[in-house]
Structure 1
Amino acid sequence: MASAAKKINDTTLLIPVRLLQRGMFVCRLDRPWLGTPFLMQGFLVQTADELMTLQHLCEAVYIDTEKSLVSLKKKSSKKLFRQVYTELPLEIPTTVDRQLAVTGLKKALPVYSQSYSLLKSSFNDYRKNQRIEAKVLEQQVDNCLEAILSNTTAMSWLTRVKSHHSYTSEHAMHVSMLAMVFAVHCGWSKDEAKEAGLAGLLFDLGKVRIPKQLLNKEEALAESELTMMREHTKWSRYYLEKSGFSRNIIDAAYFHHEQPDGKGYPTGRIGKQVPLLARLIRILDAYDAMISTRPYAEERTVFEAVRMLYRGRGRLFDSELVDQFIEMTGVYPVGTVVELSTGEVAVVIGQNNGARLLPRVSVIRDKNKEQTPERPINLLAQTDPEGRPTIAVKKMLHDGSYGVFLKDYTRSLLIG
């Protein structure tokens, strides 16, 4: 056992499924929970059927050694995903209630606002003098990363807030933050996380050379317009080289429209020929775009966006990175607007470890979709005498459904 298991941290081992036994507590899979028959994300293996299902679906699973009923030796071994920076947590904090959400948002918002303002001014300055001050942006990304490390949930929440009228700079800001949260989730080093954040900010810089009427066109682009649009990756590379950014950031911007099947642009590279950061930015770019309001495309819910990413695995998007991203976001990310089985409308304000299908929510519309006094509830605690859930999430809703905008709700939390 010890020779085959990999130590992830003091309480977690990664083991091949052939070594899985009843009595072990599975806290994580090597694939997303979404699409598996396991409703509880984290459970004790008790039956032969559970054992066989896991062995059929997975190649390896993560075991919580403290919650397992069998004795497990722990031994140092290789690191999880590239190199591990010891100050970064492997998992996003999940047990967040309303007051913790409010406190976290109040701490995170100044950093987010300052970074967003700097990004907008940097883009405006770039249109004038064709140069970005790399050191200034690097310092601001470092500030954002520190905020993510101390309050991942609040910073993740802010990536869900949409203004509906400032897409370009807001999109870059959100992709940058998602890239750093992803890096934290996967245990990348601090320098790698900062580089991912900078790549997220600057990957579409070349679009400053594309006419605004083309960027905002609602109809399908003509072939000549598509050709012009695709030139933005070359302009991004040129401007980033001119401004002195690292090769990894430059390549992320230049190659982020490449696809695993080789049908992307600008070079038609396939699979792992595309740099890692470019493969990641492609996923985050598509995800944030799909859940945003754009003049030429309909907004999707988080579930719809994740489903599109999953269906594009191996063809449009890197399979391994998509799986990691879905695991990171969870089923109902904080800040998601949902309809409950009661007909009420709520905002997800936190998760429950081991039961992400039953999040913590704050009800703000009654069953008739009328405004009602806010009522935080923990869906995991809403059970009948036999322990079965009595309230569940019925479906995700678009931001703005029934007059519920996350931006307005977030503001009410901050001033309430």
Structure 2
Amino acid sequence: MRGKDRVRIDVCELTVGMYVLELDESWENTPFLFRGFQIRTLKELERIRQVAKHAWVEARSLPDGIPGDTRAELVPLIGKVDFRQEIEQAQQTWGEALEVARGLLDAVRLGQALDIPGVKRTIEGCVESILRNPAAMLWLTQIRNKDDYTAEHSLRTAIYAISLGRRLDMLPRELVDIGMYGMLHDLGKIKVPLPILTKNGRLSADEYLIMQTHADSGRKLLMSTSDVPPAAVDAAYCHHERLDGSGYPRGLRHDKIPQVAKLVAIVDAYDAITSDRVYSKGRSSLEALRIIFDAAGTHFDEEMVAHFVKLIGIYPPGEIAELSNGEVGIIIGCPPGNKLKPKLLRVLDADKQPCRERVIDLATNPKDDQGKPYYLYLVHPSGAFGIDIEHYRRKGLLVPENL
């Protein structure tokens, strides 16, 4: 940005609505997620005044430029649509993004240049979809192919990061940034020997040390690539750091861990726990959230974890619910006032055989064919019992609710 487009002012002169480009304090020593952000609340304003003396702001965000309270005019208005309208476009965007993720991995393997502008364009499409209706992209994260894990993991991490950023009230351009960081965070794994990456069993101590090198490999790779934001390097290098210092590669603690890395750490861990791997079966979202929640404050940022739990929900659409009588259904959603009793589409009988589909709303205390009350017995990951959730959605029987 040209000098005349930025102005250095005392932090006491900052007001809500100004766009901060830089502070006279190292960004790693501040509580802010991005190197550049719009001041949206008095609380953010107070945080700036606590850590810095001067700030460089966009000239147009000053009162004699474009006032801060016209923020809505600066952000493209994206209309909301329902799930049925969005899912077809989301599937196309997902497919294109998955090809980009595969292309990134191939480029690393072949020593070719990374198409960072292409990644940004793709992530912009994902952000637009999530802003129109987040349920569509989150639904697609439930449809998994374990043979394409690395590429799908990169994309799902991006989608979860964008969705969490949306709950944290990030601006659209910030959502694009955090989505890119999610897409790029694990590229260093391509440098790990394949026998270690695909080992069907627990890694030895030496193998685990080699696996840990992927963080530094990712850092070096992204630092040598043009158009990569510094925060993307932070996310790749530090997403395995933990608040209590037990992470790697440097054993950083609390405020020494970049904010973007704290966010990516949560969504990366969630996707890894819920995914089938060569050495373990994926767990349900409920189990994954319990693991992450129990580690809040020691491994993961508590505030971000709280928002992420609310984002995913205890019983997210697309997961498989086993009922008290052995019948099995696909979770559709939960009523706003009762998050513990989901609505589901029954698709298997007690013998785990296909049966006539029926919507069962546990919030209404329904009974089975024997007159016994239904209750939720166990939640399984999407895909359990060989159930193809997309098959039922395409039949028009399944529309995710309340996302």
When the two structures are superposed, what TM-score results if normalisation uses the length of structure 1?
A: 0.72
- 1:172 and 2:154 equivalent? yes
In the aligned structure 2, how far is the partner of 1:214 from the partner of 1:303?
29
Cα drift, residue 227 of structure 1? 2.3
In the aligned structure 2, how far is the partner of 1:397 from the partner of 1:270?
34
- 1:114 and 2:99 equivalent? no
- 1:349 and 2:349 equivalent? no
- 1:181 and 2:163 equivalent? yes
- 1:358 and 2:341 equivalent? yes
In the aligned structure 2, how far is the partner of 1:412 from the partner of 1:293?
26
Cα drift, residue 283 of structure 1? 1.2
Q: Describe the shift of the 1:359–1:103 C-alpha distance in structure 2 as closer, same or farther (beyond 3 A).
A: farther
Q: Could you tell me which residue of structure 1 aligns to residue 133 of structure 2?
A: 151
In the aligned structure 2, how far is the partner of 1:373 from the partner of 1:142?
41
Aligned with 2:357: secondary structure? strand
Q: Describe the shift of the 1:289–1:325 C-alpha distance in structure 2 as closer, same or farther (beyond 3 A).
A: same
Q: Could you tell me which residue of structure 1 aligns to residue 270 of structure 2?
A: 287
1:252–1:278 contact (8 Å) kept in structure 2: yes
In the aligned structure 2, how far is the partner of 1:120 from the partner of 1:258?
26
Cα drift, residue 125 of structure 1? 2.4
2:315–2:333 contact (8 Å) kept in structure 1: no
1:163–1:407 contact (8 Å) kept in structure 2: no
Which one of 212, 219, 243 corresponds to residue 237 of structure 1? 219
2:321–2:380 contact (8 Å) kept in structure 1: yes
Aligned with 1:146: secondary structure? helix
Aligned with 2:281: secondary structure? coil
In the aligned structure 2, how far is the partner of 1:317 from the partner of 1:135?
31
Q: Could you tell me which residue of structure 2 aligns to residue 301 of structure 1?
A: 284
- Between stretches 78-87 and 140-149, larger displacement belongs to 78-87
- 1:199 and 2:178 equivalent? no
Give 1:299-378 correspondences, 5 Å limit: 299-378=282-361
Cα drift, residue 328 of structure 1? 1.3
- 1:163 and 2:135 equivalent? no
Q: Output one character per residue of 1:27-86: Cα deviation in whole Å (capped at 9) or x when no partner.
A: xxxxxxxxxxxxxxxxxxxxxxxxxxxxxxxxxxxxxxxxxxxxxxxxx96479999986
In the aligned structure 1, how far is the partner of 2:387 from the partner of 2:345?
12
Q: Could you tell me which residue of structure 2 aligns to residue 142 of structure 1?
A: 124
1:287–1:306 contact (8 Å) kept in structure 2: yes
Q: Could you tell me which residue of structure 2 aligns to residue 212 of structure 1?
A: 194
Instruction: Supply the AA of the counterpart residue of 2:165.
Output: A
Q: Output one character per residue of 1:141-165: Cα deviation in whole Å (capped at 9) or x when no partner.
A: 0000001111201111111111121
Q: Describe the shift of the 1:403–1:242 C-alpha distance in structure 2 as closer, same or farther (beyond 3 A).
A: same
Cα drift, residue 413 of structure 1? 5.4
Q: Could you tell me which residue of structure 1 aligns to residue 105 of structure 2?
A: 123
In the aligned structure 1, how far is the partner of 2:279 from the partner of 2:359?
36
1:344–1:363 contact (8 Å) kept in structure 2: yes
Q: Could you tell me which residue of structure 2 aligns to residue 30 of structure 1?
A: none
Q: Describe the shift of the 1:363–1:414 C-alpha distance in structure 2 as closer, same or farther (beyond 3 A).
A: closer
1:164–1:293 contact (8 Å) kept in structure 2: yes
Q: Describe the shift of the 1:262–1:117 C-alpha distance in structure 2 as closer, same or farther (beyond 3 A).
A: same
Instruction: Supply the AA of the counterpart residue of 1:164.
Output: K
- Between stretches 156-165 and 342-351, larger displacement belongs to 342-351
Cα drift, residue 226 of structure 1? 2.1
- 1:227 and 2:205 equivalent? no
Give 1:77-92 correspondences, 5 Å limit: 78=42
2:346–2:357 contact (8 Å) kept in structure 1: yes
When the two structures are superposed, what TM-score results if normalisation uses the length of structure 2?
A: 0.74
How many residue pairs get aligned? The number is 329
Instruction: Supply the AA of the counterpart residue of 1:214.
Output: I
In the aligned structure 2, how far is the partner of 1:414 from the partner of 1:341?
23
Which one of 261, 276, 292 corresponds to residue 244 of structure 2? 261
Cα drift, residue 284 of structure 1? 1.0
- 1:246 and 2:222 equivalent? no
Instruction: Give the share of equivalent positions with the same residue, in percent.
Output: 30
Q: Describe the shift of the 1:415–1:114 C-alpha distance in structure 2 as closer, same or farther (beyond 3 A).
A: farther
Structure 1 unmatched runs, 5+: 1-75
Cα drift, residue 407 of structure 1? 5.3
In the aligned structure 2, how far is the partner of 1:104 from the partner of 1:230?
39
Q: Could you tell me which residue of structure 2 aligns to residue 43 of structure 1?
A: none
Q: Describe the shift of the 1:363–1:80 C-alpha distance in structure 2 as closer, same or farther (beyond 3 A).
A: farther
Aligned with 2:317: secondary structure? coil
Q: Describe the shift of the 1:88–1:286 C-alpha distance in structure 2 as closer, same or farther (beyond 3 A).
A: farther
Structure 2 unmatched runs, 5+: 1-39, 48-67
1:88–1:149 contact (8 Å) kept in structure 2: no
Q: Output one character per residue of 1:191-238: Cα deviation in whole Å (capped at 9) or x when no partner.
A: 221111111111011111111111011233233322222111111111
- Between stretches 159-168 and 169-178, larger displacement belongs to 159-168
Q: Could you tell me which residue of structure 2 aligns to residue 13 of structure 1?
A: none
In the aligned structure 2, how far is the partner of 1:154 from the partner of 1:241?
34
Q: Could you tell me which residue of structure 1 aligns to residue 19 of structure 2?
A: none
Cα drift, residue 101 of structure 1? 4.8
In the aligned structure 1, how far is the partner of 2:279 from the partner of 2:380?
20
1:131–1:239 contact (8 Å) kept in structure 2: no
Aligned with 1:243: secondary structure? coil
Q: Describe the shift of the 1:413–1:383 C-alpha distance in structure 2 as closer, same or farther (beyond 3 A).
A: closer
- 1:271 and 2:254 equivalent? yes
2:326–2:350 contact (8 Å) kept in structure 1: yes
In the aligned structure 1, how far is the partner of 2:397 from the partner of 2:336?
26
In the aligned structure 2, how far is the partner of 1:376 from the partner of 1:113?
30
Q: Describe the shift of the 1:243–1:331 C-alpha distance in structure 2 as closer, same or farther (beyond 3 A).
A: same
